[in-house]
Amino acid sequence: MRGDFQRKGPGMFKSQQYRAKAAEYGERAKGSTGSDESRKFQELQERLASLADNEQGLANNYDNALQVAEQDLSRGAALAAEEEHVLRCLGAAIIMQWNALPTTLQREIFDTAGSVGRLLETAALRGQIARFLHKHKNDAGCTQTLTEVARRDAGLGGAALSRWDNEGGAVRDGPSM
């Protein structure tokens, strides 16, 4: 009996094939001469009809699951785009007001932003952020560099300046030594 069906995938049959085979057994049941033979064909017909219903239900559930997954992906992409826009706006607002922020707040923001992402890329990210901030240090009209502001802050001490310099916060204007 198994050889009569064509496979859709490994171990899967189409519901139409089940229904066709069920109809075939229904015709055999009508044309059978013995009651035992007729009963067996009717049982086979009912089983195949049930299998066809199950297969159709599984196919419908699969299609519905795919549609829901696609809708979730599109909603997720829209939400991600919205969140990215909000984060860009917040980042731009912080950058525009960077020189007006207290040095301790600048350092906290720098440390937090530098630690976002993968652990192994933290130093590189901090370097990129520091170079960006150094490049745009005078964009808001402030003439002091970030390292000058850091030196002025009495609470910093030498360790913070050293860390700032080591992570790329201080970029030399002149030639390298």
Span 97-135, pLDDT tens digits: 888 889 999 999 888 888 887 777 888 888 888 888 888
Q: Which residue has the tokens 């912080």?
A: 94
SS3 33: coil
Kindly give the interhelix angle for 35-96 and 15-31, rounded to the nearest 10 degrees: 170
Residue bearing the bigger pLDDT, 164 or 70: 70
Strands (E), the chain: 7-9, 12-13
- What pLDDT is recorded for position 104? 92
In total, the chain counts a number of residues equal to: 177
Which tens digits make up the pLDDT trace of 23-38? 988 888 888 888 888 8
Express as a percent the part of the chain with pLDDT over 70. Answer: 71
> What is the model's pLDDT at position 150?
46
Does the pLDDT of residue 65 top 70, yes or no?
yes
